[in-house]
Amino acid sequence: MKKVITYGTFDLLHEGHYRLLERAKALGDYLIVGVTSEAYDKTRGKLNVVDSLATRIENVRKTGFADEIIVEESLGQKVQDVKKYQVDIFTVGSDWTGVFDYMKDYCEVVYLDRTKNISSTMLRIQNRRIQRIGIVGTGRIAERFVPESKLVSGVSTQGVYNPHTESAKKFADRWEIEAYEELEDFYQSVDAVYIASPHETHYDYIKSSLGHGKHVLCEKPMVLKKAQAEELFQYARAHDLILFEGIKTAYCPGFNRLLGVACSGVIGNIRNVEVCFTKLENPANRELTDSLYGGSLTELGSYVMLPVLKLLGDSCEDIRFDVIRGENGLDLFTKISLVYPNAIATATCGLGVKSEGRLLISGTKGYLVAEAPWWKTSYFEVHYEDPLKVDKYSEPFLGYGLRYELSDFLSMINGRNSSEFKLTRSESVALAGIMEKFLSAEGRGRDKAPSEGQRRDNM
Ligand code: C2G
């Protein structure tokens, strides 16, 4: 008797799972299915698992393919199971190709083709809502999004659109998803859109996605003009659609804990925020060559302004930009200085100058500090007058961190608006306002202004 084993979460059991189990069973005579426990999924960073373990086991049982169902509780259990049950073949979907090659020492390993399309017919029959996400853009961030999306239950990355069809095809092949040549076909096949195209294209893609009734998660900076942000949020709200700006820091657990501690009173009243994020970029890259929309502020400004807006709000009395420019006029290093009635802030970002990335929040009783990479907060400290007294906080930050924003986006779509506070519409509008003000001060906006090194204005 040939014994086969496979593993999975099998949450919101769908066609992809069903076909996997069907083919796994066909590989032998006896199929063992390991269903992951909730605790194990948590440790491997799988978020949002909707169905309980009992329901997931029951759904696997109902497929009729499993001869035996076991629970997978920890990393390392697979090898033990293969020995224990004298398994001949270990199989799993091709999205895991290579990962389980180490099992070849114990049995045959078969990667079965992953099912590309989770069809809407199947979802309707099951009366379940799995959001099919389509990606616009095929750059670095889109590459990171796909593996992260696999760790969020209730979404399925369906396909990708890029006007450069060759790039779309390559991307789609790599991730075993569909490539769409026509934007209309793309919209027909998805429920929500993740926009990861160049900054200046965001507005048009958001508008057309919303116009097609799709929810939108858009990479930062969402748009570069305040009025555009207001218009898009208004449209989304009027049509019951979710529009979400993807600044990963805003949704990660460590950063939210940091904000909670900073505002808890332990450091007293906040009087100063100093924040910095620099990344030395290759001078040949778009970020440092796009003379209209490149530069440090459009690239990293959303990150550094996030803690300032969260902690001090969006009504500062004065905002000023100090800039170091490269030969092509683009900002290599930008310092934003803000003055509030009872506080001040400096937010610094750079692509061509390296500095210490740090978030420092000073209060009347103490200060909170998170070192680089504070934008993926996993650790921070609170210090007081007494140098011996230090409170230390840590939180996990898993993978690229995009799973957190996607999970919150999904919960908003599903009507649980409890995460809306993490990045409010007015904060996104304020961020777009800052981009606009800066680009205009640099003489890059539509309303050109003299590009002197320094400029003062109201936010
Ligand atoms: N799958 C598939 N087609 C899809 C989606 C999933 O063939 N469209 C496959 C996966 O490759 C996996 C199985 O269905 O083999 C279960 O998928 P998940 O429930 O997402 O579980 P996963 O996280 O892949 O667990 O120890 C756990 C296992 O390593 C894999």
By most ligand atoms within 8 Å of CB, the mutation choice from 14, 20, 48 for ligand 1 is 20
Q: What is the pLDDT of residue 315?
A: 92
Pairing of strands 270-278, 243-246: unpaired
Residue 107 and residue 90 in contact, taking contact as beta carbons nearer than 8 Å = yes
- Measured CA to CA, the distance from residue 100 to residue 7 in angstroms comes to 11
Could you identify the atom of ligand 1 that is nearest to the CA of residue 151?
23
Q: Return the residue matching tokens 């620099």.
A: 278
Pocket of ligand 1 (CB under 6 A): 7-11, 16-17, 20, 36, 72, 92-93, 95-96, 114-115, 118
Minimum mean pLDDT range among 62-66, 211-215, 452-456 = 452-456
Condensed to tens digits (0 to 9), the pLDDT of residues 169-201 reads 999 999 999 999 999 999 999 999 999 999 999
Condensed to tens digits (0 to 9), the pLDDT of residues 67-117 reads 999 999 998 999 999 999 999 999 999 989 999 999 999 999 999 998 887
Residue 94 and residue 114 in contact, taking contact as beta carbons nearer than 8 Å = yes
- Measured CA to CA, the distance from residue 415 to residue 321 in angstroms comes to 39
Could you identify the atom of ligand 1 that is nearest to the CA of residue 113?
7
Minimum mean pLDDT range among 43-52, 205-214, 248-257 = 43-52
Task: Look at residues 362, 392, 390 and name the one whose alpha carbon lies nearest to residue 269.
Answer: 362
Task: Look at residues 60, 67, 78 and name the one whose alpha carbon lies nearest to residue 25.
Answer: 67
Tell me the whole-structure pTM to 2 decimals: 0.84
The number of beta carbons lying within 10 Å of the beta carbon of residue 81 is 17
Residue 37 and residue 62 in contact, taking contact as beta carbons nearer than 8 Å = no
By most ligand atoms within 8 Å of CB, the mutation choice from 46, 95, 157 for ligand 1 is 95
- Measured CA to CA, the distance from residue 156 to residue 328 in angstroms comes to 42
Residue 417 has pLDDT above 80, yes or no: no
Task: Look at residues 226, 241, 244 and name the one whose alpha carbon lies nearest to residue 187.
Answer: 241
User: What does DSSP assign to residue 435?
Assistant: H
CA 122, distance to chain mean position in Å, is 27
- Measured CA to CA, the distance from residue 226 to residue 314 in angstroms comes to 13
Q: Tell me the average pLDDT across 411-435.
A: 91
Nearest CA, atom 24, ligand 1 = 8
Condensed to tens digits (0 to 9), the pLDDT of residues 425-458 reads 999 999 999 999 999 999 986 544 434 343 333 3
Condensed to tens digits (0 to 9), the pLDDT of residues 278-331 reads 999 999 999 999 999 999 999 999 999 999 999 999 999 999 999 999 999 999
Nearest CA, atom 27, ligand 1 = 8
Torsion of CA 274, 246, 422, 445, to 10 degrees: 60
By most ligand atoms within 8 Å of CB, the mutation choice from 114, 119, 177 for ligand 1 is 114
Q: What is the pLDDT of residue 48?
A: 79
**pLDDT level of residue 122 (50, 70, 90 thresholds):** low
Residue 419 has pLDDT above 90, yes or no: no
Instruction: Tell me the two tokens of residue 173.
Output: 């092949």
CA 254, distance to chain mean position in Å, is 14
Rounded to the nearest 5°, which phi and psi values hold at 264? -80, -10
For residue 290, give the 3-state DSSP assignment. Answer: coil
Nearest CA, atom 4, ligand 1 = 16
